Structures are given as structure tokens and as C-alpha cells.
Amino acid sequence: MKLTLRQQWLWQLPVGLMVGLVLLPVSVILLSWGDAQTEVWAHLIETQLGRLLQNTVLLVMGVGLGVTLLGVSLAWLTAVCDFPGRRWLEWSLMLPLAVPTYVVAFVALGLFSYSGPLGNQWRSWFGAEAWFPDVRHSLGVVLVMTLVLYPYVYMLARSAFLAQGRELMDASRLLGHGPWDSFLRVALPMARPAIAAGVALALMETLADFGAVAVLNFDTFTTAIYKSWFGFFNLGAAAQLASLLLLFVGLALLVEQRARGSARFHQHPRQERESYRLRGWRAWLATGYCGAVVGLAFVIPVVQLVIWVADSGVQDLNPRFGRLIGHTFTLGGSAAVLTVVLALLVAYAQRLNGRHQLSGAERLAGMGYALPGSVLAVAIMLAFAFLDRELINPLRQSLGLAQTQLLVGSLAALVLAYIIRFFSVAFGPVHSGLERIRPSFQEAALTLGATQSRVLRQVYLPLLTPGLLTALLLVLVDVMKEMPATLLLRPFGWDTLAVRVYEMTSEGEWQRAALPALTLVLLSIPPVIVMIRRSRLD
């Protein structure tokens, strides 16, 4: 269909706005090259860059493989098969998303370290000199990250499988393919955009993670960034290292896009479907597998948190704690709504233009997620401070108003920072949801005289509900867990649960951090349940 020139221009606005927002911190980071920190670079290349790159590549490949295997297999089982406990497992498999990475890392360290209960038991069985695996090696780090990050793939792949309907699988079975063959040749290729979006999210988070690698003292590229900043007091070198990270992410996204090619995936609207009922040992194997993942990634860390809370008491549970919860929800909610609205507008505009591949602009808009949180936070802060200094204050001066800081330390700046960071989290599910809707619906509606915004409201929104809910939930939970930007940009008094978690853990008071961390986890459970329920009922 053809849009008028004015319409085309209007629909480019959200994309332009998003790109503008992301360009603020990205340009701060790129501009750091104006003053190349050769001394720090020479030192890093000489001493550790090789090892850091090797570690980082290992981590990315390991986690990529891990989350794909875990996420897709779990999604397939819960979406298509039926087995004892499935109704519980399908939503509890989402719960690890709510557990902060550092908690899982810390629990893994506590359990599997030499001084932990398993280590002690091991030595009592096999003697003091017996070999014992150290979780702080690359494999341990990969396992920890995989357990925390697989829900991204699980969630997106699951809604893709649910949307496929059963006819195609039935057709494939009728044509003589077995269940495995049908899965590999029909269901999996059709779910590829969703799986790719999930893996991309997980990998970007892996690259940016500092919590788990810090607890396990595993050196990655991110570690070098922080070392340059806090050890050498060289923010410029840190930003230059971060720009390399951006380059990696850009390349990876490009490769993913090439690999996907021009394949198009449209499906029939959802239909009532029956599940394949697993029987006998197969059924119990499925239950055991899903249960084990929930146990390792969620139950054990939460039990550990509960034990810590019991140990340290609830001394911190006072009216101030209630306010922390209020702040956490207000920030998470408003950022989630705004981010998802923007993501929807951007994804829809792209579709209106009739393109199926993401343009550079849309890819750029998602870059915020791949940067280490603190680096992004400080880049956003620098950009806002620049605007305050060079734009807003001269303007206020000319109007005769007093000099002040309007952006830095304001709530609007903090919410903007969340949008910049989490846009791609929302864009993934919204975009892959949109890709599954056939263009003929829109064409029919337009032929019948509906306007673009009416098509969006009355045709797309209802069909997109699962994707939008997924996006909302992901951003909500991510914002509630977010630390660095919240710390640096929050207005006075606007402490959140994550801020409290940071304050306790940075002093090594893991036990007192358990109460806010556990509250964070509990707060995330209701939205998870709501979302999973809705995605089934539609």
C-alpha cells in the first residue's frame, strides 16, 4: 500500500526519536576516540587483552549454545506437549528472570566452592586432596549465565510455537515425518525469528554483565572496561573499550540478519489446539527436566535468599521499605509502558514501509542493551549534563530564569535512560509478534477504509497482545533489577529495591541484601503468572 508523504514522515517520527535518544550516549562513547588513550591500550594489549578476548568469546559461544538448547527445548515441551505438572512448570520456568544474576552466581559459589557444603562433603568422601571442580572456571560461569538468561529464549520461542497452530505439524506428520523430523524441519525454522531475538537479548546481556563475572572473578572484556575506569581513573579508555563492544554487537546482529536472509514468516491466527500427550517414562522425563531447571535456576537461589533473610532478621522492614517498593514499581511501570509504546510504533512504522529487514536505524535503536550498565549510565549522564549546560541553561538565562539542573537528577532523565537501555528488550517480542501477522489483514482493513491508526488499534493490538505483554513484563522486570543508571540518575530520595541490594552487596553484606532481593523476586512473580496465563487463553 502507499502512504502519503505526510503520513510517511509522521511514521518516521518514533524511529527518529528513538535513534536520537540512543545516539546521545553512543556519540559520547564514540567521541572518546578524540583523545586516544594509547598508554592504557598498550598496557592492556601487552598484559591481558588476549586472555580477555578469549574468555569473552568462550562465554558468548557457551551461553549462546546453552540458552538456545535450554530455551528452545523447554519452550517446545511446555507449548506443544502435555505432561504431569506442565501447567505449573510453564510459568515457573519464567521465574529465573526475576532473580538477579549476582544471586545465582553467589549461590553457585557458596554451594560449589571448596569451603561450601558440597566441597566439604566431597572431601569427607574422597579425602582432603581429592580434585574438586571450581565453579569460577569458564564452564561454571557459562552455566550460571545460561541458567539466568535462558528465559529470554524460552519466552519468545514459546509464544512462537504457540502461535504456529497444529495443522502444519499434522501435515508434516501425515507426509511421513516423525515427531523429531517435523520439529526440526517445520516448527523450528518457523520460530527462528523469535529464537534469534531471544538469543540476541541473552548474548547482549552476557556481554554487558558485570554482576556474575565480578562475583566469580572471571575476567571478560567488561572487566577491562571497569579496570580502566576505576583502576586507571581513565574514563576515556573505558569508553573506547566500550565502543569496541558496540562494534562486536553490531557485527553479530549483521551476521544474524544475513543468516536469516529474506525468509518471511506469517502464520494463521491462533486456533484451538490439542497438546501431544506424553506417556510413561517420557512424560516423567519431561517433568523431571523442566523441574530440574526451575529448581537450579529459581528454587535453590530463592531458598538461599530465604535462609539469609531468616539469619539476618527483618530489621530493615520499616515504612521506608514500603517506599522503596513504591519507587521500584512506579519507575518500572512507567518505563515499561513508554518503552513498549515506542517499540510498537517503531516496529509498525517499519512494517508500513513494506520492509522485512531491519534498517540501520532500528538496529541502532537497540544498541543500548549491549553496553555495560555503568558505562551506558555515565554516557547518558554526560549527554544530559551537556544538554543542561549548553542548551537548557542558556535558554533559561535568556528567559531570565535561574541556572539549575533540569535533566540530570530528574525523573524524566531516569525514565529516558531506561528506555534507551531496554528498548531492544521490548522491540524483540513486539517485532517478532508483528512478523507473524499476515499483511493481508491490514490490506483488507485499509481497503475497507480504516485509517492507519485504526488498523493499529483494532487489528494489530488484539493480535499482538501476547507479544506486548511479554515486552511489558520483560522491561518491567529488567527496570526493577537495573542498578547503575538508577544509582547515577535517580532524584534525591528515589531509592529503589535494586539500590538497596547494591548498597548491601557492595559492603559485602550479602545477608542483609537478601531482603530487598527476595522482595524483588516476589514482586516479579504476579506479572509473570498474568502474562503466561494470557498467552494461553487468547
Name which of residues 76 to 115 contact another protein (CB under 8 A).
Answer: 109, 113-115
- The nearer residue to another protein, 139 or 412, going by C-beta atoms, is 412
* Cα separation, 456 vs 474, whole angstroms: 22
Residue 385 lies near another protein (rule: CB under 8 A):
yes
- The nearer residue to another protein, 154 or 510, going by C-beta atoms, is 510
Q: Which of residues 117-136 bind another protein (CB under 8 A)?
A: 119-120, 128, 134, 136
- The nearer residue to another protein, 194 or 513, going by C-beta atoms, is 513
* Cα separation, 237 vs 226, whole angstroms: 10
- The nearer residue to another protein, 200 or 416, going by C-beta atoms, is 416
Q: Is 272 exposed, middle or buried (0-12, 13-18, 19+ CB in 10 A)?
A: exposed
Residue 507 lies near another protein (rule: CB under 8 A):
yes
End-to-end CA distance of the chain: 29
Options 488, 498, 520, 531; binder of another protein; rule CB under 8 A? 488
* Cα separation, 521 vs 519, whole angstroms: 5
Count of chain residues binding another protein (CB under 8 A)? 79
Could you please report the per-residue DSSP string of 23-46? HHHHHHHHHGGGG--HHHHHHHHH
Q: Which of residues 455-474 bind another protein (CB under 8 A)?
A: 457
Other Cβ atoms closer than 10 A to 416: 21
Smallest separation (angstroms) from another protein to the CB of 235:
6
Smallest separation (angstroms) from another protein to the CB of 500:
8
Options 19, 98, 148, 216; binder of another protein; rule CB under 8 A? 216
SS3 536: helix
Smallest separation (angstroms) from another protein to the CB of 130:
13
Smallest separation (angstroms) from another protein to the CB of 359:
20
**Binding pattern for the stretch 17-56 against another protein, x by CB under 8 A and - elsewhere:** x-------------------------x---xx--------
Contacts of 325 (CB under 8 A, 6+ apart): 497, 519, 523
Residue 261 φ/ψ, nearest 5 degrees: 65, -150
- The nearer residue to another protein, 69 or 412, going by C-beta atoms, is 412
Q: Which of residues 275-334 bind another protein (CB under 8 A)?
A: 323, 326, 330-331, 333-334
Decide the pairing of beta strands 276-277 and 81-82: parallel
Options 364, 378, 434, 521; binder of another protein; rule CB under 8 A? 378
Question: For 288-295, which contacts have Cβ atoms below 8 Å and span 24 or more sequence positions?
Answer: 289/73, 289/74, 289/77, 290/74, 290/77, 290/78, 290/85, 290/86, 290/89, 290/93, 291/85, 291/89, 293/70, 293/74, 293/93, 293/147, 293/150, 294/89, 294/92, 294/93, 294/95, 294/96
Residue 490 lies near another protein (rule: CB under 8 A):
yes
**Binding pattern for the stretch 405-434 against another protein, x by CB under 8 A and - elsewhere:** xx-xxxxx--xx------------------
